Amino acid sequence: MPISNPVAKEDKGRKRKRGSSSESPPSPPRRRWRSDAEHWIYSSKLLEALRRLRRSSPAAPPRARVVRRTADRALAAVARGRTRWSRAILSVGRPLRVKARRPRAAVAAVRPRKGATPAVPGRMRPTPTAIRRRARFLGRLVPGCRKASFPTLLEETSDYIAALEMQVRAMSALAEMLSGSSLGSAPPS
C-alpha cells in the first residue's frame, strides 16, 4: 500500500539519522522511556508520520489500523532497534500484514484460563505448565518474542511496557490537541 511506504522510509531514515547511544539492555527501561527527550522525539516522529499519511492519501482518511501501525513503527524507531520487539515491528513486511492479523486475533481470544489459585489446592506453587502457558501467551503479545527464552521475554516485556506507556501518553496528548479540547491534561503516571 502506498500509504505505509513513505512512513516506513521516513521512519528508517529517522532511525539512521539518529546516532546510537550506548545503553545496556538491562538498564532500567522506565527511566529511559520516561525522559522528556524521548517523549519529544516520539511525538515529533508521530506527527511527521501522521501528516505524511494524510498527505499521501488525500482522498480517504486513514483508518485506525493504519494509524496504529504508524504509531507503532514510530515507537519502534525511537527504540533504535535495540530491543527485539522494536526490530520485529520494523521488520514486518507488507505482504504478511493480512496473514499476521488473523492468528493474532485468534490468539487474543485464547487466554490462560488457569486462575490465580493453583490447580491442586494443597499445592504451594502453580504448576510449571501454568507459568509456561502464560509465558507463551505473553510472548505472543509482545511482538517478536514468541520463541524467546523466559528471562529474555521478561526483559523485553519491561521495555515494551515502558515504551507503550510513553506511546499512550504522547498519543493522548496529541489527540487532545488535535481535537481542540481543553488543555492541561496531565499525562497518566
Partner 1 sequence: MLNMLMHRPVSGTNTSMATSDRNLLDRLKWHQPQQGSYFTLSNRCYANDSYLLASCIDQENRPTTICSSYGKDKEEESKQQLNNRYTMLGSSPLQKESTTSASKKRKADAFHSGKVGCTGDGTVLVVKPEVENQQSNSNDKKKETSGENSKENSKALAPMQDYIHVRARRGQATDRHSLAERVRREKISERMKFLQDLVPGCNKITGKASMLDEIINYVQSLQKQVEFLSMKLASANSTLEYNIDEFFSKEMDPVSSTTCPPAGMPCEPVALSYLPFNNSEQAVARGGLDMALDHPELALRRTMSAPAAVPEAFMDSCYTVTTVNGSSVTWDTNMRSCYDMMKEPIGSFTEKTKWLHH
Site for partner 1 in 44-103 (CB under 8 A): 44, 47-48, 50-51, 53-55, 58, 61-68, 71-72
Which region, judged by CB under 8 A, interacts with partner 1, from 76-84, 88-96, 179-187? 179-187
Measuring CA to CA, which residue among 78, 76, 77 is closest to residue 143?
Answer: 76
Nearest partner of 35 among 135, 129, 163, 137, judged by Cα: 163
Distance CA 12, CA 80 (A): 10
Closer CB to partner 1, residue 67 or residue 88? 67
Distance CA 9, CA 95 (A): 17
Nearest distance, CB of residue 122 and partner 1, angstroms: 15
Distance CA 10, CA 146 (A): 28
- Please report how close the Cβ of residue 179 comes to partner 1 at its closest, in angstroms: 5
Residue 91 C-beta: closest distance to partner 1, Å: 19
Span 125-164, contacts to partner 1 by CB under 8 A: 125-126, 130-131, 134-135, 137-138, 141-142, 150-151, 154-155, 157-158, 160-162, 164
Q: Least Å distance between CB 22 and partner 1?
A: 20
CB 16 within 8 A of CB 82: no
Q: How many residues bind partner 1 (CB under 8 A)?
A: 72
d(Cα 57, Cα 137) in Å, to the nearest integer?
36
